[in-house]
Structure formats: C-alpha cells, structure tokens
Structure 1
Amino acid sequence: MNKKKHYDLPIIIKNDFLLYGKIHLILLFAIILSANSIVIVVYKTRMLIAEQEQLRIEQKKKNDEWRNLIIEKNTLSPPLIN
C-alpha cells in the first residue's frame, strides 16, 4: 500500500515565517506604520491650513469693520474750530 504523507500547510507557512521571514515581517510592519503616520500628518496639516484660512478671513472681516468704524467716527465727530 502507498501511504501519502499529509502536510499541515498553515503550520508550515507559520513556521517558515517565524524562522526565515522575521526581517520581512518587521519591514512590513515598518512600512504600514510609516504609511499610517504619513496619512495622519497630511490630515493634520490640511486641518491646520483650513483653520489658518478661516482665521485670515476672520481677520480681514475685523479689519474691514475697524476701518468702517474709524470712518464713521470721523464722519460723526464735530469739526474742530480754532
């Protein structure tokens, strides 16, 4: 009779990774970690740029309002007579 050997493939793959693929797993983990870091930094940068733009718009509105108040004050103040 011919007996066929049965191999447990998932265990063989796991053992190969642990024995020979540690460097590959470490590099894969480093790549995933750096990719996630890039995504987070880009997101935070975009949020800061949007906030900066909102602050610039608000500053422009405040400056316009201040100029209008100065003009209104000069218009409503009585003229100086010497």
Structure 2
Amino acid sequence: MNTNPNSESYQDNIYVEVDSQRKPNKSLFGLIIGDLFGHQKMSLFLLLMIVVSAGAVLITTQQVRKQLFEREQLMLEQDVLESEWRNLVIEENVLADPKRVEAKAKNQLGMSYVTPENETVIVIKSK
C-alpha cells in the first residue's frame, strides 16, 4: 500500500472523472435541441424557411397542374362548340335558301342526290 497522499487523491480524481462521463445529464436529442435553441437560432430559422419554401413549391406545382388540366378541358369543349356552331351556320344557310345551296353543290362540287339507279353498294367480307 502506498502511503503517499498525492497518489490517493490522483486515483480519486480518476474515478470521479470516469463517473461523470458515464452519467450524462441530458439525452443526445435534448442536447441537440438545446444547442439549436440556444446557440444556433439562425440555423433553425433557415431550416424552417427551407421546409416552408418546399411546401410552397409543392402547393404551387399542384395548382399549376390543376389549371393546365382545366385549360385542356376547356379547349376541348371549345372545339366541340365551334364544330356545332359551324354545323348550325350550314343548316341555317340550307334552310334559308335550299335551292341556291343545291345549285352551288351541283355546279361547283359536282354533287347530286343518290338515286337507286346511280347507287353502288360495296360489300366487304371480314375474316
């Protein structure tokens, strides 16, 4: 046994230091959160802004896609309505002056009514 008082106190200090390292006061998560709120406020603010901007990008992208889909549907509807309008204009012209339209079809386009004498039936047999 060593009777030197300095050597005993040195050994006691070693045990004290080892014991303090084995028993942390806070968990790792608590230390990280404490550090963020205590010393890294700017980093926390920037992280929050990144999350907010990412959410804004997602919402904006979804709205743009929805509006593009609606635009496409409206353009298809416009095509259908324009076709119906053209047909109505043609019908109005025919009903207003059918003889003029018939004469124009015969003279310019060479069209005529189909009669049983000039009718040709083609039969296609499928396999």
Q: TM-score, normalised by structure 2?
A: 0.56
The size of the alignment, in residue pairs, is: 80
Long gaps (5+) in structure 1: none
**Which of residues 69, 74, 80 in structure 1 aligns to 2:93?**
74
Structure (1 or 2) with the greater helix fraction = 1
Question: Which runs of structure 1 show a deviation greater than 6 angstroms over 4 or more consecutive aligned residues?
Answer: none
Q: By how many angstroms is 1:16 displaced?
A: 1.2
Partner of 2:48: 29
Q: TM-score, normalised by structure 1?
A: 0.83
2:57 maps to amino acid: I
Q: By how many angstroms is 1:46 displaced?
A: 0.8
Q: For the pair shown, which has the larger CA radius of gyration, 1 or 2?
A: 2
Residues of 1 paired with 2:30 and 2:74: CA distance? Answer: 58
2:59 maps to amino acid: I
Answer 1 or 2: higher relative contact order, Cα 8 Å, separation at least 6: 1
Long gaps (5+) in structure 2: 1-11, 101-127
Q: By how many angstroms is 1:61 displaced?
A: 0.3
